[in-house]
Structure 1
Amino acid sequence: MSNVTISPTMLRVEALRQIRNPYTLAFTIAMPVAMYLLFGATAGYGSLSAGNGNVAFYVMVSMAAYGTAVAMSSLTSLAAAEAQQGWGRQLAMTPLGSTGYAITKLITAVTFAIVALLAVFVAGWLTGAQASDGWRWLACAAIILTLGLMFGLYGLGVGLFFKSDSAAALASISMTFFAFFGNVFIPLDGLMLDIARFTPVYGFVALSRWPLTEGMLTTGQTDALWVPIVNVVVWSALFALLVAAGIRRSRSRR
Structure 2
Amino acid sequence: MSVDSQRLDRIDPTTRRVPPLGGFSWTFLGIELKRVFRNFSVVGFTLIFPIAMLFAIALPNKGYPATDVPLEQGGLSAAVPIMISMAVYGSMVAASMTGVSVAAERAQGWSRQLRLTPLNPLVYMLIKVITGLALGAIAVIVTLIAGAALGITAPLGNLIVAALLAWLTALSMTSLGLAVGYAFPAQNAMRYLGPLLPILSFMGGLFVPLSLLPAELQMAATFTPLWGIADLSQKAIIGAPLDPMAWVNLFAWFIVFTGLAVLMFRRDTRRV
Work out whether the TM-score is over 0.5: yes
Partner of 2:156: 134
Matched AA of 2:218: L
1:111 aligns with 2:134: yes
Gaps of 5+ in 2: 1-15, 68-74
TM value normalised by structure 1: 0.81
1:145 aligns with 2:167: yes
- Counterparts of 1:238 and 1:99, CA distance in 2: 16
Give aligned pairs, total: 241
Deviations 1:16-74 (A, max 9, x none): 4322xx24422x22211111211001x1x213221462111111000000110111111
Superposition pairs of residues 38-77 of structure 1, within 5 angstroms: 38-41=56-59, 43=60, 45-51=61-67, 53-77=76-100
The alignment partner of 1:49 has SS state of coil
Work out the percentage of aligned pairs sharing the same amino acid. 27
- Counterparts of 1:65 and 1:238, CA distance in 2: 19
Gaps of 5+ in 1: 217-223
1:37 aligns with 2:55: yes
Higher Rg of the two aligned structures:
2
CA contact (8 A) 1:72 1:149 kept: yes
Deviation at 1:233, TM superposition (A): 2.3
1:195 aligns with 2:220: yes
Task: Give the structure with the higher percent helix.
Answer: 2
- Pick which of 7-16 and 61-70 moved more: 7-16
2:245 to 227, 230, 250: 227
Partner of 2:235: 210
- Counterparts of 1:4 and 1:247, CA distance in 2: 18
CA contact (8 A) 1:7 1:96 kept: no
CA contact (8 A) 1:14 1:108 kept: no
Deviation at 1:104, TM superposition (A): 4.9
The alignment partner of 1:185 has SS state of coil
Deviation at 1:244, TM superposition (A): 3.2
Deviation at 1:126, TM superposition (A): 0.9
Alignment RMSD (CA, Å) = 2.9
Deviation at 1:215, TM superposition (A): 5.2
- Counterparts of 1:237 and 1:197, CA distance in 2: 17
> Judging changes above 3 Å, is the alpha-carbon distance between structure 1 residues 6 and 93 closer, same or farther for their aligned structure 2 residues?
farther
CA contact (8 A) 2:229 2:246 kept: yes
Deviation at 1:165, TM superposition (A): 5.3
1:124 aligns with 2:142: no
Deviations 1:98-144 (A, max 9, x none): 6775555334322221221122111110112122x211111111111
> Judging changes above 3 Å, is the alpha-carbon distance between structure 1 residues 173 and 24 closer, same or farther for their aligned structure 2 residues?
farther
Partner of 1:236: 254
Matched AA of 2:57: F
> Judging changes above 3 Å, is the alpha-carbon distance between structure 1 residues 98 and 238 closer, same or farther for their aligned structure 2 residues?
closer
- Counterparts of 1:10 and 1:244, CA distance in 2: 23
- Counterparts of 1:107 and 1:200, CA distance in 2: 20
